[in-house]
Amino acid sequence: MSQIPDLNIDRLAKLARLSLTADEKARYSAQLGDILSYIETLKEVDITGVEPTAHAFPLYNVWREDLPQPGLPVEKALMNAPAQRDNMISVPTVVE
Amino acid sequence: MAAPLHYQTIAELSARLQSGEITSVQLVQAVLERTRAVEERVHAFNSRDETDVLAQAAASDARRAAGKALGPLDGIPIGLKDVIAVDGQPLTASSKILANFVSPYDATVTTKLKAAGALCWGRLNLDEFAMGSSTENSANGPSRNPWDLERVPGGSSGGSAAALAAGEAIATLGSDTGGSIRQPAALCNLVGLKPTYGLVSRYGLIAYASSLDQIGPFTRTVEDAALVLQAIAGYDECDSTSFKVEIPDYRAELSKRKGPWRLGIAKEYFGEGLDPEVAKAVQAAIDHYRGIGCEIVEVSLPHTKYAIGAYYIIATAECSSNLARFDGIRYGHRSSATRDAVDIYSQSRAEGFGDEVKRRIILGTYVLSSGYYDAYYLRAQKVRTLIRNDFLKAYETVDALLTPTSPTPAFRIGEKAADPLSMYLSDIYTIGVNLAGLPGVSIPCGFTQAGLPIGLQIIGKPFEEAEMLAIARSYEQAHDWTTRLPQL
């Protein structure tokens, strides 16, 4: 197992908003070390002057008329909410 | 002797439905009976709604009786991978985080299937959020390969492949981000089609890696693939990456295009790691094409060896962003062990996501994080350009490429589970196609001595599905692999 020295798993977990157990942190660090050392092979490639590809085909913004259309009814939009009250999603207190 | 109803093709069944020899309700009952008999062993489905599919079948029969049949898919039960939204049905992505989610609307492909009269049947198992190559990453446990129940059906659309191979549906839909339709099709003796990026709308498909994902069909024959593609292809204003291209009559084109073709063989696809029995079967398929007068041209795709590295940067970066929406607030699992808002996100995600999903989110977060973006993500996107250019250069001299679909036949359940990297490497022949946005199809091309299916991949030019399918059909018609059925 190889380790990437600057892979700070606690910082990544925080950035990803994902709580990890001690066991997960140890395992993922080792496995991601392996994967990242494999990915290091990309550094061999000469990318001088190469444009990045975000999508396989060029995409252009498409404009349409701003016309009112029926949207998802409130009851359907809320049908999967973990908690709701008065047609709103309810969450624990954020600001005291 | 005709195969039992549940193992017939769309083309055969639509003729029987049209002549009145059978009804859609009878067909669905045959499929339900078969499913009840084998599903416990195969585990292709996350959930099934028998009442709903029978009601759809009755509606199809009523339409036909009134002289208003909608076309070749009318009355045909088609299974859907559980990442494609069907209004009122569960949508779980085989993840605990969506265990209780019900779709509030139809995906565009669902709307299109319904408009063609097809019956949406069941929610098919997958690797959680389509991340995997075996279905072992499903929160509901793995699906099994009908050709050998101790082996994986491939993935991530393994449930879609297993259901069709087991006779539990007449066709199915999957999604393909790095090979997730073609690889399971190869491992289960099926036709699996990944369309050109932008040909089929992704609206209503749970996003994994948006710049790579495409929906496509699993079918028993190339002709059936053409029929399903016909129904689901086309521009959709709800998908900003959908392309406005003319959609040909795919089935009619199959018989019009007879070759001979110039077919490319990329030496990079026949190197180390390729199972000798797979190599032999694919070589025999190449010989078939040479024998019917095709010119076989050796081409080079020199950046192939960088495809998996580029893929796992791009795909995990996109997944870490796409899966940020699962935060326990608006839908999905919300943890009860929380103190504040940030805690809801972190804890709900910790409880809801499985191992591979967490691993990919962390990797994606890493490659996008400040200070590493240029070194990983931007570099991967530039390598992606080079991979794409390799294909486009090859297409200056050839009409399509022939490759193995998967380097090995189906592996045993558990064999690769502890080593994510070895699992990633099993996608080596399929991933480049997604990075370049090309269409690819896997078709059956033989069996190993142990009786495991082998797939041939044909990679076509962008939006040239008709040509690619005609090339596939020419091989299929000269062989009987598709008529072989697993012993279940």
Token duo for residue A12: 């990544």
Verify whether residue B180 is a known catalytic residue: yes
pLDDT band (50, 70, 90) for residue A55: confident
Answer whether B116's CB lies under 8 Å from B123's CB: no
**Helix-strand-coil percent breakdown of chain B, rounded to 5?**
45, 15, 40
- Residue A54 has its nearest CB partner, among B198, B320, B381, at B381
Per-residue pLDDT tens for B188-199? 999 999 999 999
Asked if A54 lies within 8 A of B363 by C-beta distance, the reply is no
The answer on pLDDT for A2 being more than 60 is no
Residue type, B292: I
Quote the Cα angle for B478-B482-B487, to 5°. 140
Q: Which residues in chain A have their CB less than 8 angstroms from residue B420's CB?
A: 31, 34-35
Beta strands B171-176 and B77-81, pairing class: parallel
pLDDT band (50, 70, 90) for residue B297: very high
The answer on pLDDT for B410 being more than 60 is yes
Token duo for residue B283: 């070589």
The answer on pLDDT for B41 being more than 80 is yes
Asked if A77 lies within 8 A of B388 by C-beta distance, the reply is no
Per-residue pLDDT tens for B338-377? 778 888 999 999 999 999 999 999 999 999 998 889 999 9
What's the confidence (pLDDT) of residue B322? 98
- Residue B241 has its nearest CB partner, among A42, A50, A55, at A55
The whole-angstrom separation of Cα B37 and Cα B14 is: 24
Q: Which residues pair with A88 in a beta bridge?
A: A85
Q: Which residues in chain B have their CB less than 8 angstroms from residue A11's CB?
A: 369
The whole-angstrom separation of Cα B418 and Cα B466 is: 40
Per-residue pLDDT tens for B184-227? 999 999 999 999 999 999 999 999 999 999 999 999 999 999 99
DSSP characters for B26-54? HHHHHHHHHHHHHHHHH--EEE--HHHHH
The whole-angstrom separation of Cα B298 and Cα B376 is: 32
Token duo for residue B180: 């997730």
The answer on pLDDT for B258 being more than 50 is yes
Residue B347: phi and psi, rounded to 5, are -80, -40
Q: Which residue, B193, B191, B162, B152, is CA-closest to B175?
A: B193
Verify whether residue B60 is a known catalytic residue: no
Average pLDDT for chain B: 96
Q: How near does any CA of chain B get to the CA of A68, in Å? A: 15
Chain-centroid distance of CA B43 in Å reads: 17
Q: Closest chain A residue to B388 measured between Cα atoms?
A: A56
The whole-angstrom separation of Cα B269 and Cα B305 is: 9
Choices 1.10.15.40, 3.90.1300.10, 1.20.1430.10, 1.20.1250.20: CATH for B8-265+395-483: 3.90.1300.10
Answer whether B131's CB lies under 8 Å from B156's CB: yes
Residue B322 CB neighbours (<10 A): 18
Asked if A18 lies within 8 A of B308 by C-beta distance, the reply is no
Verify whether residue B300 is a known catalytic residue: no
> Looking at residues B118-147, what average pLDDT do you find?
98
What's the confidence (pLDDT) of residue A5? 54
**Is B464 in a helix, a strand, or coil?**
coil
Contact B417/A at CB under 8 A: no
Answer whether B400's CB lies under 8 Å from B178's CB: no
The answer on pLDDT for B138 being more than 90 is yes
Q: A33 or B479, which is more confident?
A: B479
The answer on pLDDT for B151 being more than 60 is yes
Which of B91-100, B115-124, B224-233, B410-419 has the lowest average pLDDT?
B410-419
Which of B1-10, B129-138, B287-296 has the lowest average pLDDT?
B1-10
**Is A69 in a helix, a strand, or coil?**
coil
The answer on pLDDT for A1 being more than 50 is no
- Residue B362 has its nearest CB partner, among A13, A57, A89, at A13
Size of chain B in residues: 488
Q: What percent of chain B has pLDDT over 90?
A: 93
Q: Which residues in chain A have their CB less than 8 angstroms from residue B363's CB?
A: 32, 35-36
What's the confidence (pLDDT) of residue B339? 77
Asked if B309 lies within 8 A of A41 by C-beta distance, the reply is yes
Per-residue pLDDT tens for B383-408? 999 999 999 999 999 999 999 999 99
pLDDT band (50, 70, 90) for residue A94: confident
> Looking at residues A49-59, what average pLDDT do you find?
84
Q: Closest chain B residue to A74 measured between Cα atoms?
A: B104
pTM for the predicted model, two decimal places: 0.97
Per-residue pLDDT tens for B94-117? 999 999 999 999 999 999 999 999
What's the confidence (pLDDT) of residue B393? 97
- Optimal mutation site among A39, A47, A85, A96, interface B, most CBs of chain B within 10 A: A39
Residue A2 CB neighbours (<10 A): 12
The answer on pLDDT for A95 being more than 60 is yes
The answer on pLDDT for A3 being more than 70 is no
Q: How near does any CA of chain A get to the CA of B296, in Å? A: 27
Show me where the domains of chain B are located: 8-265+395-483
Residue A61 CB neighbours (<10 A): 5
What's the confidence (pLDDT) of residue B417? 79
The answer on pLDDT for B425 being more than 90 is no
Q: Which residues pair with A89 in a beta bridge?
A: A84
How far is the CA of B149 from the CAs of B38, B43, B162, B218, B317, in angstroms?
A: 11, 10, 10, 20, 34
